Amino acid sequence: MEICNTSKQETANEELEKLALDDEPDTRLGQGTLSFNEVPEVHSQAGSWAKVQRGTVGEDSAGPVDVTNGEIMRRPVLKFEVVSARTVDHNSEKKHVAYTIMVRKDAIQPDPNPAVIERRYSDFLELYESLRREFPSLMTSVTFPKKVLLGNFAPGVISERSAGFEALLEHIITEDRLRESSCLLSFLQGREQREARQWMEAQRYDQAIPLLENSFRLLNKLHTDRHPSVMLALCRLVACCSTDPVTTSAERFADLALRRYEAVSDADLLQFYVPLLQLCVRLWWSLGRDKRPLEARLEDLKRRGIKVDGCRTLFDALMALDKN
């Protein structure tokens, strides 16, 4: 009976992961700076999108394999691809080229939720120089596209730079120390996190949620499910979703966060566990779900000497963390 119950729990956990990670992305993302929509038509004029045909990068295209019961299975490979570039010429900022990078897992089945970020040359340059200062011995083989005095917006320069950016990202994800660096984390989520924070401070949670969800999905492709950066991204998403009266995503992401926290031992992450449980107690009550198991868990933590009363909400705790 115990084996049967364990099997049922594992199946339920797998279904929860699938529900939270394999569903369609939030279509409201198109309202912000990012979009999951198909790249617009190709044009060569300044100010419009220009498709850049580049190969994807990552591990070998054949991918690493697992052999299970005599059957060869290819594991998903992380891919970064510069899929388009556009000229930005706003009065509020200097004219530049913005490169759209798609991040996806390349496997037998297509990745249903690729993540998309937009970065400019100076962002890549900052990433490259930061890594070269911190890990000089790991960056000796990397050649970064040089600055040019003229012709920044020429198709040839854009294409050459795109190839260089992809090569840089390919190198980073194959080196564990580079992959785990704060430099890469800042590059991948810094801009969206700052924009999401601005929306949350303005109480426009509907605008913040797509940005936070995109960051969570991106980091979850790069790292393990319970990696600190992934868990923090998930907690930010849960906190924001629970504050937005319109979204229906709060429950599934809260369920996912609770399940993942069951195996977390990182002290920096555990400080958000009590606020998460308290948030879920309120959420479960509003949804008509049984909140008693969560309340029992809080009481157990209290008996162990962990502070439960008078804690900040998850939202406030994370906002305070991001201010530092």
Report d(CA 183, CA 130) in Å as an integer. 7
Encode pLDDT of 281-322 as tens digits.
999 999 999 999 999 999 999 999 999 999 999 999 999 998
User: Could you tell me the pLDDT band of residue 108, with boundaries at 50, 70 and 90?
Assistant: confident
pLDDT of residue 284: 97
Measured in whole angstroms, the distance separating CA 240 from the mean position of its chain's CA atoms is: 15
More confident residue, 6 or 241: 241
Question: Token digits for 115?
Answer: 């993540």
Higher per-residue confidence, 95 vs 92: 95
Q: What predicted TM-score, i.e. pTM, was given to this entire model?
A: 0.79
Mean pLDDT of 114-130: 95
* Percent of the chain residues topping a pLDDT of 90: 60
Enumerate residues 6+ apart whose C-beta is below 8 A from 169.
57, 80, 101
Q: What is the mean pLDDT of the chain?
A: 81
Which residue in the block uniquely carries the two structure tokens 């000497």? 305
Q: Given 3.30.300.30, 3.10.20.30, 3.40.50.620, 3.30.1520.10, which CATH number is that of 34-179?
A: 3.30.1520.10
Is a pLDDT exceeding 80 seen at residue 20? no
User: Is residue 56 over pLDDT 70?
Assistant: no
Q: List phi, psi (to 5°) of 212.
A: -70, -35
The rounded distance, in Å, linking the Cα atoms of 152 and 150 is 6
Q: Where are the domains of the chain?
A: 1-31+202-324, 34-179
Q: Between residues 12 and 189, which one has the greater pLDDT?
A: 189
- Give residue-wise pLDDT tens across range 71-87: 444 445 889 999 999 98
Return the percentage of the chain with pLDDT > 70, whole number.
Answer: 76
Q: Given a cut of 70, is residue 12 above it in pLDDT?
A: no
pLDDT tens digits for range 238-292: 999 999 988 889 999 999 999 999 988 888 898 999 999 999 999 999 999 999 9
* Per-residue confidence (pLDDT) for residue 219, from 0 to 100: 96
Report the pLDDT value the prediction gives residue 22, as an integer from 0 to 100.
53
The whole-number pLDDT of residue 17 equals: 58
Name beta bridge partners: 72: 67
Does the pLDDT of residue 13 top 60, yes or no? no
At 118, is the pLDDT very low, low, confident or very high (cuts 50, 70, 90)?
Answer: very high
Return the closest-CA partner of residue 148 out of 127, 164, 132, 137: 164
